[in-house]
Amino acid sequence: MRGKAVPPAARTEFLPDRPVDTPRALAYHLERHRLAGIPVVRWLYGLLIVLMLVLLLRPGVGWWLAGGVVLVLSALWLWLRVLRGHDFVRFTPQPHAAAPGVRVPVPLRPADKLPVYVSGFLSVDTRVRRFAALPGFYRTFATREHALMCQARPRRFGSVATWPEEEQGLWYAFFQAPQVRGLQMGEVSFDRASFPGLKVEYEPVQPLDGKSKRRYRRVTLYLAFPQAADCQAALADLMVEPLPAAQAQSSEP
């Protein structure tokens, strides 16, 4: 007698990619996407430099215009540097009291997966990359190790620029309570939408890239949850292990 067919397990679907509808999101994709193997933003820098050199060949008004191009080039570089320092997101801190029930620590089950958008440094093997609004899942294993598992899909920017092939696939972050150095609740914005989220600062047990001793000594991750209940569940899970006094102070704005 033949046994009953076992239905296939439900697939875990990652959240859709966020739209490029803000200057912040545009700047991020200018850095991430490549044209002929070169980041699009470098092509933009190159065009501005060529324009400046051409204008310098024209005495008088050309020199003034070249000076204007230098200012634009400098402003673009500074703007991208500032955005990069905040992982291309805007984080607005809020007190934990603004979310009901989060004062009660509740651990997640190992099987629970909370959909989330992650911004910050993620790694796989010895590779480390900075991502913004990357779809993923927050979960906690039975060992109480917290994990962020994210997926970088193939994407196109415009009609010719593409996401680097070597960056496509799964990227991760792992940390435990003793490594956490800061925890804040707030709102995270990448595109026009704002989601309830968390700012988590932690110190890796070892350098993310397996080599550097300083560059990734402290990692900041911004977690944006489309569902407020998931954000509260993640915060309640992170609060299961008591935070040291210094961390608790940094949890409030």
Looking at residue 185, which CATH number applies to its domain? 2.30.29
Boundary (domain end) residue, out of 35, 52, 85: 85
Distances (CA, A) of 58 to 45, 51, 72, 74: 21, 11, 19, 21
**pLDDT, greater one: 23 or 214:** 23
Residue with tokens 């407020």: 228
Is residue 157 very low, low, confident or very high in pLDDT (cuts 50, 70, 90)? Answer: confident
pLDDT of residue 205: 80
Range of the domain at 201: 90-250
pLDDT of residue 159: 76
**pLDDT, greater one: 9 or 125:** 125
| 3 domain-assigned | no
Domain count, the chain: 2
Interval 185-197: pLDDT, tens: 999 999 999 999 9
Q: Are residues 65 and 104 in the same domain?
A: no
The answer to whether residue 92 scores a pLDDT higher than 90 is yes
Q: Are residues 106 and 224 in the same domain?
A: yes
Is residue 208 very low, low, confident or very high in pLDDT (cuts 50, 70, 90)? Answer: low
Q: Are residues 191 and 171 in the same domain?
A: yes
Q: Are residues 174 and 112 in the same domain?
A: yes
* Residue 105 DSSP SS3: coil
Who contacts 161 (Cβ-Cβ below 8 Å, separation ≥6)?
Answer: 33, 34, 35, 40
Q: Are residues 182 and 242 in the same domain?
A: yes
Boundary (domain end) residue, out of 85, 110, 130: 85
Rounded to an integer, the average pLDDT of 137-147 is: 96
Is residue 15 very low, low, confident or very high in pLDDT (cuts 50, 70, 90)? Answer: very high
Q: Are residues 69 and 153 in the same domain?
A: no
Q: Are residues 109 and 216 in the same domain?
A: yes
Distance CA 87, CA 152 (A): 16
Rounded to an integer, the average pLDDT of 205-209 is: 70
Is residue 222 very low, low, confident or very high in pLDDT (cuts 50, 70, 90)? Answer: very high
Q: Are residues 77 and 44 in the same domain?
A: yes
Distances (CA, A) of 147 to 112, 114, 122, 137, 138: 11, 11, 11, 8, 6
pLDDT of residue 1: 36
Q: Are residues 150 and 47 in the same domain?
A: no
The answer to whether residue 240 scores a pLDDT higher than 80 is yes
Q: Are residues 60 and 154 in the same domain?
A: no
Distance CA 51, CA 25 (A): 26
Interval 29-77: pLDDT, tens: 999 999 988 999 999 999 999 988 888 888 777 778 888 889 999 999 9
pLDDT of residue 58: 80
Q: What percent of the chain has pLDDT over 90?
A: 60
Q: Are residues 185 and 240 in the same domain?
A: yes
Is residue 10 very low, low, confident or very high in pLDDT (cuts 50, 70, 90)? Answer: very low
Distances (CA, A) of 50 to 44, 66, 170: 10, 10, 38
Q: Are residues 107 and 212 in the same domain?
A: yes
User: Contact at 8 Å (CB) between 182 and 201?
Assistant: yes
